[in-house]
Amino acid sequence: MLSVPPCSRFRQGRARSPSGVQDFVAQDQLVFGWRSALLLAALLVVLPLAAALWRSFDNRAANRIMAALLVVLAGVITPWLIGFAGFYDRWRWLTFLPVAQPLLVPPLFLAFVEVATHGQRLTRLRRWFVPGAIFLLVESISFLLPLDAKLAWAEASGRGFGIAESVTLIALFALVLPRAFARVAGYRRALAQQRSDETRFALGWLVRLMVAMSLLWSLWALYALAGSLWRVGYEGFMPLYLAIAATTVWLGIEAWRHGQRGWPAPYDVPTPEPDPGKPARDWAGLGRRWAAALRQTQAHREPGLTLRRAARVVGTNEAYLSRACNEGLGLSFSALVQQLRSDSVAAALDSGSTEDLLTLAHAAGFASKASFNRAFAARFGMPPSVYRRRLISAKKTRMPGGEATGAAASAP
């Protein structure tokens, strides 16, 4: 069973370091070797972060779910931490200690994604927690058995129980990961249609979370399969639990870094119904006209410009403006605003502005340097720094004698 080390079933295991020195040599001796030390170090980082996330006032529901996920992952590696130190050999009654509940990892991960991006209530996700609750109940009852009965039950059920848990864990991850990816992708698309500042939110962190959990699941599934088919030694599982520990530490740090960022809730923008008595609307022409209105009013420079606000500025409704962007111009609302902002920076550079590029980007409404560089390169086919250097080079070639004067000469 992946969640409980072999020595938790009262085996006289002898974990050895690569040098051959025994980490524990007798049933009543506790020795913290490098394995226990590494796993303990991970817990000492993760648990305070989980406590801080639980007490956070920002994104309270999502952060509390993340805190619970961190605690569950910490519980998964706890039996191995104390097992390598010899706890199970010294105190056999710890067998079936119900601290490791890996089947709660996939549903908590999905719950975090659902609550953070769509504000879903946990009651709507409770069916995902049923397998974990069943295994937790079985382990808790087993833990409360008298010692002799507990040891006999562990000997009789250990392998079958472990295989069932491993198969269920793989199946849960296989169901949860595609759903989580779809929810994040849909959330990103919705924000791009309704906001011009979606890069201010922790969308990149969500994508990295998806990738990290996919990699961890792949490794977990590989070890689950190996452990079910062959007798993998106690030390053989150590790379998996180091990976779980490392992922948990990274998860805690990243969750704390991005836990205070907002998660705007997307809303449904109605699709305008065609009017049979009127000719079809020229969405391309309307898109160009409304884009010009945004440029003329300088509304695109507002860092937090939304579809709703932009529709009021150009004198239409959200549904029409959204359709004009998507059908008429072939752009999301966010992409249109990023183009207008990029045009503003390019116009400033064309006029010989000597301002720092980041200053120009902030003045145009960009929320970050990364989003500015991406949008400008998509618009003009080159980074803004290259664009400026080419402008300066072109001005030099037009000056008599190849000498530049004025703004071009002083540009950085």
Domain with CATH 1.20.1070 in the chain: 6-258
Asked which of 24-38, 246-260, 293-307 is least confident by mean pLDDT, the reply is 24-38
What is the predicted pLDDT for the residue at 393?
Answer: 86
Task: Return phi, psi of residue 22, to 5°.
Answer: -75, 135
- 253 versus 3: the higher-pLDDT residue is 253
Q: Which of 103, 149, 98, 150 is nearest to 128 (CA)?
A: 103
CATH code of 6-258, in short, is 1.20.1070
* Angle at alpha carbon of residue 162, lines to 161 and 168, rounded to 5°: 90
Q: 252: which 2 tokens?
A: 């805690």
What global pTM score does this model have? 0.79
Give one DSSP letter per residue of 183-203, joined into a string: HHHHHHHHHHHHBS-GGGSTH
Q: Where in the chain is the domain with CATH 1.10.10.60?
A: 283-410
d(CA 82, CA 320): 62
- With a pLDDT cut of 90, the percent of the chain lying above it is 53
Least confident of 204-218, 228-242, 262-276, 392-406: 392-406
Q: Rounded to an integer, what distance in angstroms lies between the CA atom of residue 111 and that of residue 255? A: 14
**pLDDT above 70 (res 405):** no
Q: Give dist(CA 48, CA 316) in Å, integer.
A: 50
Reference 198, options 87, 43, 307, 123; nearest CA is 307
pLDDT digits (tens, 9 = 90+) for 379-404: 999 999 999 999 888 877 765 554 44
For residues 351 and 149, give the distance between their C-alpha atoms in angstroms, rounded to a whole number: 85
Enter the tokens of residue 387. Answer: 């664009």
- Tell me the average pLDDT across 125-151: 93
Q: The tokens of 300 are what?
A: 């695109």
Q: Report the largest interatomic distance among the alpha carbons of the chain, rounded to a whole angstrom.
A: 99
C-beta atoms surrounding 330 within 10 Å: 11
Contacts 24+ apart (CB under 8 A), 25-31: 27/86, 27/89, 27/90, 28/90, 29/86, 29/90, 30/85, 30/86, 30/87, 30/90, 31/85, 31/86
Q: What is the pLDDT of residue 45?
A: 96
DSSP character for 12? -
DSSP 266: P
- Read off the pLDDT of residues 187-228 as tens digits, 9 standing for 90 and up: 988 888 988 887 777 788 889 999 999 999 999 988 888 877
| Cα(389)–Cα(392) distance, integer angstroms | 5
DSSP assignment, residue 104? G
* Token pair in block for residue 58: 């920002």
Estimate to the nearest angstrom the gap between the alpha carbon of 393 and the chain centroid: 43
Write the CA distances from 325 to 238, 265, 287, integer angstroms: 53, 21, 6
CATH code for the part of the protein at 283-410: 1.10.10.60
